[in-house]
Amino acid sequence: MPPTNLQRFSRHITKRQFLQLAASTTLSTLGLSGCGWTLANVRPTTSGQGATEELYIYTWSGYTDDDLLKRFTQETGIRAIADVFDSNESMLAQIQAKGGGGYSIIYPSDYMVLKMADLGLLTKLDPRRIAGMNQLFQRFQNPDYDPGNSYSVPLSWGTTGLIYNQKKLKQAPADWSYLWDYRQQLSRRMTLLNDVREVMGATLKMLGYSYNSQEPQQIEQAYEKLLDLKPAIASFTSDAWRPQILSGDLLVAMCYSADAAELMPENSDLQYALPASGSSLWIDTLVIPKTAPNPNGAYAWINFMLQPEVAAQICQRLSFATPNKEAFKILPPEIQDNQSLFPPESTLENCEGLIPIGEFEEVYDRYWTKLTGS
């Protein structure tokens, strides 16, 4: 079956396997910590909508762990229960099929925030109940997908690029065109993501077009370019490249920056390149669905995650970039200087966030089926 649109967001399953998370994580309720304060003035109570001492979270695998949930419980008295999803599309289908599913916090990616808001599924956030939005870097305070952060709070971000073995390549990749220019040397030793929008988007960007192009002739041109490259591609995969590039079987792989940042410490010869012509810049967020049974707990979770110390620890533990500038300030220098996580601003100028393209998705899917099936 061809991958769902924007399947790239299943990255969280593969890049954080080390956490060994089950399909859901449940923590026992713990007493309040001795810190003497409670996030968002939330105390465990019971209402007609259910027990508000419990907070059900719907998130990517690897975005929570026992330590994080335990600390939240200690600081608020609210027991956090996290279920996981593997793509934005499967999350949306679940929410729509089950009328919200009892979740009070959900972790959609940027483009899905826009889609869920348009479908009337999200609560408009009350800025008076959120502390720390002013701590975000400027680029995250008024995103195109959610002007004014009306429905969402940015949690993490990253880019898409190339991971490569610098000892085995005579020339380091500087742009997507590298794959075509060196296809003979890279033959059957390079992989692209198993994702139509990312692969087509990267090729479109190399050709001077938008990652989100809706021009049929441009899409066809990108397809023809990829068809020329296909004989040299080992596979389209979003996860199998990891052991292969560690073992040296692969020389270069298209991947997400967070995956590269996690993997590079395992082999000092591995480096990550953000292509000069531009790439995608993805953002994952926190939202409160309209059906949330515990909105007080949801605001408590948002405020907890906006704490600089918490955000910094998540960045260190889970290998993705934080949009919190105060959290960035307290990160160790080696993480602050890690350009796979925090690329220079100048290199981000050509990056774009993926956006919903409606019925035009069919055009992408048609060419993708031809490319991967031929």
Q: Cα–Cα distance between 264 and 262 in angstroms, integer?
A: 6
2 part of a folded domain? no
In a 10 Å sphere around its CB, with 0-12 CB exposed, 13-18 middle and 19+ buried, how is residue 56 labelled? Answer: buried
Distances (CA, A) of 42 to 38, 46, 153, 276, 292: 6, 12, 19, 47, 15
Q: Which amino acid is at 27?
A: L
Shared domain check, 352 and 257: yes
**pLDDT tens, residue by residue, 177-193:** 999 999 999 999 999 99
> Which CATH number do you get for residue 199?
3.40.190.10
DSSP alpha helix (H) spans, 142-256: 178-181, 183-186, 196-206, 216-229, 241-247
Does any domain span residue 197? Answer: yes
Q: Model pTM? A: 0.77
pLDDT over 70 (residue 175): yes
Q: Residue 146 and residue 153: Cα distance in Å, rounded? A: 9
Banded model confidence at residue 20, pLDDT cuts 50, 70, 90: very low
Q: pLDDT grade, residue 238 (50/70/90)?
A: confident
Q: Please count the structural domains in the chain.
A: 2
State how far the Cα of 83 lies from the Cα of 64, in Å rounded to an integer.
Answer: 10
H helical segments located in the chain: 11-15, 66-76, 88-97, 110-118, 178-181, 183-186, 196-206, 216-229, 241-247, 257-263, 295-306, 308-318, 325-329, 333-336, 345-348, 361-373
Mean of the per-residue pLDDT values of the chain: 86
* pLDDT above 90 for 245: yes
265 lies in the same domain as 300: no
Q: 102, 112, 25, 14: which is closest to 70 by C-alpha?
A: 25
Q: Do 212 and 121 fall into the same domain?
A: no
Mean pLDDT, residues 212-222: 97
Looking at residues 224-248, what average pLDDT do you find?
Answer: 95
* 255 and 320 together in one domain: no
C-alpha separations of 234 from 6, 109, 165 in Å: 21, 29, 16
- My answer on whether 365 and 251 are in the same domain is yes
Judge whether 1 lies within some domain.
no
Residue appearing with tokens 């077009």 = 209
Indicate whether 73 and 136 sit together in one domain. yes
Q: Which residue has the higher pLDDT, 187 or 49?
A: 187
Is the domain of 39 the same as that of 132? Answer: yes
Tokens of 268: 């000092």
Residue type, 211: Y
Tokens of 178: 């590298």
Inter-residue contact 108 to 60 (CB < 8 Å): no
Tell me what percent of the chain is helix, strand and coil, each rounded to the nearest 5: 45, 20, 40
Strand partners, 55: 80
pLDDT greater than 80 at residue 73: yes
Give the range of the structural domain holding residue 204, as residue numbers without chain letter: 159-280+348-373
Asked whether residue 364 is assigned to any structural domain, the reply reads yes
Give 81-127 pLDDT, tens digit per residue.
999 987 788 899 999 999 999 999 999 989 899 999 999 999 999 99
- Residue 346 is predicted with a pLDDT of 87
Q: Are residues 251 and 175 in the same domain?
A: yes
- The more confidently predicted of residues 31 and 155 is 155
Segment 149-157 shows an average pLDDT of 97
Element (H, E) at 164: strand 153-165
What pLDDT, on a 0 to 100 scale, did the predictor assign at position 374? 66
Structure confidence by residue, pLDDT tens digits, 24-46 = 333 333 333 333 233 443 334 34
Residue 33 lies in a domain: yes
Q: Are residues 191 and 291 in the same domain?
A: no
Cβ-based neighbours of 366, under 8 Å, separated by 6 or more: none
- 111 and 232 co-located in one domain: no
Residues 38 and 94 in one domain: yes
Same domain, 151 and 165: no
Instruction: Give the angle subtended at the CA of 243 by the CAs of 323 and 155, to the nearest 5°.
Output: 15
Residue 319 lies in a domain: yes
Q: Could you give the CA distance from residue 211 to residue 365 in angstroms, rounded to a whole number?
A: 15
